[in-house]
Amino acid sequence: MTNGERRDPIRMVPYDPEWATGFERERDRVTAALAPWLAGPVEHIGSTAVPGLPAKPIIDMAARIADHDQGAEVRAALAGIGWVHAPEPGDDAARKWSFCFPDPGWRTHHLHVYEHGDPIPGSLTAFRDHLRASPADAAEYGRIKTALAAADAHDRPRYRAGKAPFIQGVLARLTPDSPDARPTPAPEST
């Protein structure tokens, strides 16, 4: 295990149908481990959840728990099945937890655990569902991400910032009058 330092470059690969199987396998394990605290299903989010979309080969997942204060129990339960707590900037302020499997440096899966009622998971699934239904937007998002990764495969803040306007634009189109149509931080693997 690493000290949390990312060693994997930002690398786009063609869509792999095995990502769905990898999600299902870990979803089942995470759901079983977090059953006492879950407040809804564990969702497959991010680009690996959109058939045909190029992505970093990291399966992004989101879960909701009833209360953020249950974090110690959640961390212990996930550690028991090999998931590593890997805090991201802003997690504490957002009342969110981040975990990686099998290792933060070379992860295959990334789990974002939100407190029930947080609007971010709904935005993430709305964005995913929109890309699944809109091939033109999915292709444009893939083009943006591929260009950003090619420009600098190690600058994660630049990568996130570069794709954020597209994500925010799609979400604004989906909910133009919603007071909750606030900018949504893009998970690392989206």
Tens-digit pLDDT profile for residues 95-137 = 999 999 999 888 999 999 999 999 999 999 999 999 999 999 9
Residue 147: pLDDT band with limits 50, 70, 90: very high
Q: Provide the sign of the torsion angle of the four alpha carbons 67, 71, 72, 76, taken in this order.
A: positive
Mean pLDDT of 27-49: 97
User: How far apart are the C-alpha atoms of 74 and 59, rounded to whole Å?
Assistant: 20
What SS3 state is found at 161?
helix
Contact in structure between 88 and 98 (CB atoms under 8 Å): yes
Res 90: pLDDT: 87
Mean pLDDT of 153-165: 91
Read off the amino acid at residue 98. S
User: How far apart are the C-alpha atoms of 29 and 110, rounded to whole Å?
Assistant: 14
Res 125: pLDDT: 96
E strand or H helix at 62, and its extent?
strand 59-65
User: How far apart are the C-alpha atoms of 12 and 55, rounded to whole Å?
Assistant: 5
pTM of the model: 0.86
Mean pLDDT of 62-88: 95
Q: Which of 70-74, 101-105, 142-146, 181-185 has the highest mean pLDDT?
A: 142-146
CATH topology for the 18-174 domain: Beta Polymerase; domain 2 (3.30.460)
Residue 76: pLDDT band with limits 50, 70, 90: very high
Residue 190: pLDDT band with limits 50, 70, 90: low
Contact in structure between 183 and 164 (CB atoms under 8 Å): yes
**Residue 62 forms beta bridges with which residues?**
43, 112
Residue 188: pLDDT band with limits 50, 70, 90: low
Contact in structure between 113 and 157 (CB atoms under 8 Å): no
Read off the amino acid at residue 171. L
Res 175: pLDDT: 80
Q: Which long-range contacts (CB under 8 A, 24 or more apart) does 32-38 make?
A: 33/77, 33/78, 33/80, 33/81, 34/63, 34/65, 34/74, 34/77, 34/78, 34/113, 36/73, 36/77, 37/65, 37/66, 37/67, 37/70, 37/73, 37/74, 37/77, 38/63, 38/64, 38/65, 38/66
Report whether pLDDT(182) > 60: no
Q: How far is CA 23 from the centre of its chain?
A: 12
E strand or H helix at 61, and its extent?
strand 59-65
Share of the chain above pLDDT 70, in %: 88
